[in-house]
Structure 1
């Protein structure tokens, strides 16, 4: 056992050294997209051993914090709040670290060695992946203020609260509000209304407006479609496949309508013809010019568009329902969080830091920089999507489909097979068969 622990610790150190000074930038979107992986922070530039004692700071207690944020603006907010906390608590040093694209791999090694940061971003996996390593925060003062849409996401069946949610993901469709007004289109409520809107945009613009834009090179954009609409098709309806997916008994033929609809969108000209060779990087400019109507991207997409055209109005809407008798939904849950290691040598100080980040004025800073709602009630934010979040505040939020209902590794399967579908390398039925085969294979690994 000692030998195994030594090997694991050596692996942690090796990865940490390899990542020194490394930085990866996030993009838009979620689950496996560039927005899912997150330059060195305030007091350290390399991932370090997690729960340090008083190393390098006299008698100060050092709290190591790992974050997934890659955008400099978001990192700056972490830094600002941490500096204010240390000023009020001179006996505590906050060591902020943002490891970049290897974040998940580093955390997995640290879990195996049971040598975790004092505080870390659970990035969508607070309960499922990290639950056994996190302290129970149910007695913290901020817990009573958790939003109705996030409470169940970070709370397990026994009532254990796993993390503070700094920014709550509510991912749906962003759209060019100016274009929808120009063509007299209301934000679609169902998939049929969305396809009707696409037909209207294509026809009345004489092909000048692409209803949707996808990239086969940056194929996470294609995976996004299947991840979002799988919830509308299989999870959101009253009669759903949630239990069957979890226990491995779902009839995967029920996936076929998703593939059929996506292929039909391509054949009907509802997306860019060059989808297989197109790049995500071309989208912000096209959207800013009014040539693309709908995207399956998160709100951070807005900043890229407004650098090109500050006057375009970008709207946000939930994912349309698949069935007329159902309601639209958001995909999401945790975006940026703070969970506390249950075995931290400085547990009280770590919880104190998290409570400081939970102050309304601090959560408001995160809301403004991320353009996302905070995980606590009553936080006043001021950005272009605030009115949309208020409009849709009662819309249900489901966890990202792949995070709950698919085994690790399936995100890539959805992206690659969705691209193959458009290339006519697989049929919709073969897509469903591929999903079934890969789910069974990965579950049996």
Structure 2
């Protein structure tokens, strides 16, 4: 009996010590890794932290704020952390911990939402209202809130006037292009889809197939999904007579998706897409673009710096997405790109709001705009970078929220990307693509 009691006591003691060790782990898995490292598969958070400043000795007097960001480029991260360092100099009682989870970002945030244990501040990456709304504090009383740009205000402000996040960089995706090639072949910037396809034919023919009018990747199939998502708005949302309401109501006729899928397939069959589309990687793009072997790329010119490392003098342009329906005008897809929202139940909400307001200062917004090469989400920011003139040129063109974020249930992005790759691989027809969209739309919408 006594021996049993001693054994039980020892077991209880060991369990207590184990629990003490677990409770002392840093929240969010705080080990720092280089930008190009991959997070561990079993514990995706374990290698995602990126400290804002050199590690300091623990201090019970300091308030610690954790900030999650979707920024993946090292230059962008450095600017973000630099502004954070300036904030800590002004607020020595606050320590910032920036984390950049990379490809695991959404999975980590979904786990944290389920546990109601979110970062103090995080990047809502296009889902401020729909996905994160109930977890975010209302920022409408902040000094910068009335200064949001007209194109982004409604993206992060709900029908009750709640402002969910500061939009530091506003997404404005059109088509990036090699301006030198367009000049070489005497091509005006296309305004309609027919003009865009005519430009593609001219480039392919006059270059004897040496130049791929469009670059896409079937391995990094987000480029295929990006084409479909960006062109879905000119097809179904932008025209005066559109299908926005039927998509929202779940009554959309998915047979109407077939022409969009057919257009992508036709581009491949006509030789307008790089011939190795199924095996090419996104990382192949900068080299080919720099060599003058690519004319058009769907989306923002986020690859520009990598191109200029190879060919410093090449000129990269940006245009609105050419219209596809007669009588319509070119437009952009966009909304949130890099943002900051505050956890409404966070222990340091006042400090989180103070941090966000610091980032909203014009001089800080300017730094972020210049490094990301994107328009800022606040008015009165005097940013200047190589694409500023293009954004100014198209300032009056409409910007539609990303199609999948508004009109498709969560999970459909992956369907578009994978089925787009299957379409170009010849294992799915445009009509079967439409049927797949219908099935998955209904399944995920009713989930």
Output the TM-score relative to the length of structure 1.
0.88
Structure 2 match to 1:42: 52
Structure 2 match to 1:360: 362
> Could you list the runs of 5+ residues in structure 2 that have no partner in the other structure?
1-21, 38-47
Contact 1:230–1:258 (Cα < 8 Å) also in 2: yes
State the distance in 2 between where 1:71 and 1:272 align.
26
State the distance in 1 between where 2:123 and 2:259 align.
36
State the distance in 1 between where 2:27 and 2:176 align.
37
Structure 2 match to 1:222: 224
State the distance in 1 between where 2:445 and 2:143 align.
39
State the distance in 2 between where 1:23 and 1:260 align.
42
Deviation, structure 1 residue 310: 0.7
| Deviation per residue, 1:39-63 (Å, 9 max, x gap) | 5122599xxxxxxxxx943322222
Contact 2:157–2:163 (Cα < 8 Å) also in 1: yes
Structure 1 match to 2:438: 436
| Deviation per residue, 1:301-356 (Å, 9 max, x gap) | 10111111111100001111111311111111111101011112222211111111
1:174 maps to 2:184:
no
Structure 1 match to 2:323: 321
Deviation, structure 1 residue 390: 0.6
Contact 1:57–1:93 (Cα < 8 Å) also in 2: no
State the distance in 2 between where 1:102 and 1:422 align.
28
Match of 1:209 among 208, 211, 216: 211
State the distance in 2 between where 1:279 and 1:106 align.
26
State the distance in 2 between where 1:162 and 1:107 align.
16
Find the structure with the greater CA-based Rg: 2
Deviation, structure 1 residue 116: 1.4
Contact 2:53–2:85 (Cα < 8 Å) also in 1: no
For 1:175-194, list aligned pairs within 5 A. 175-194=177-196
Structure 2 match to 1:156: 158
Structure 2 match to 1:136: 138
- Which deviates more, 237-246 or 144-153? 237-246
Deviation, structure 1 residue 15: 9.8
Contact 2:214–2:295 (Cα < 8 Å) also in 1: yes
The SS at the match of 1:132 is helix
> Could you list the runs of 5+ residues in structure 1 that have no partner in the other structure?
1-9, 27-37, 46-54
State the distance in 2 between where 1:44 and 1:107 align.
26
User: 1:77/1:275 Cα in 2 relative to 1: closer, same or farther (>3 Å)?
Assistant: same
State the distance in 2 between where 1:336 and 1:182 align.
36
User: 1:59/1:15 Cα in 2 relative to 1: closer, same or farther (>3 Å)?
Assistant: closer
- Which deviates more, 125-134 or 238-247? 238-247
Deviation, structure 1 residue 179: 0.8
State the distance in 1 between where 2:184 and 2:166 align.
42
Deviation, structure 1 residue 24: 6.1
For 1:210-359, list aligned pairs within 5 A. 210-359=212-361
Structure 2 match to 1:29: none
How many aligned residue pairs are there? 414
State the distance in 2 between where 1:214 and 1:345 align.
45
| Deviation per residue, 1:111-134 (Å, 9 max, x gap) | 122221111111111010111111
Q: What is the root-mean-square deviation in Å for CA atoms of aligned residues?
A: 2.2
State the distance in 2 between where 1:16 and 1:91 align.
21
Output the TM-score relative to the length of structure 2.
0.88
State the distance in 2 between where 1:22 and 1:106 align.
17
State the distance in 1 between where 2:403 and 2:303 align.
21
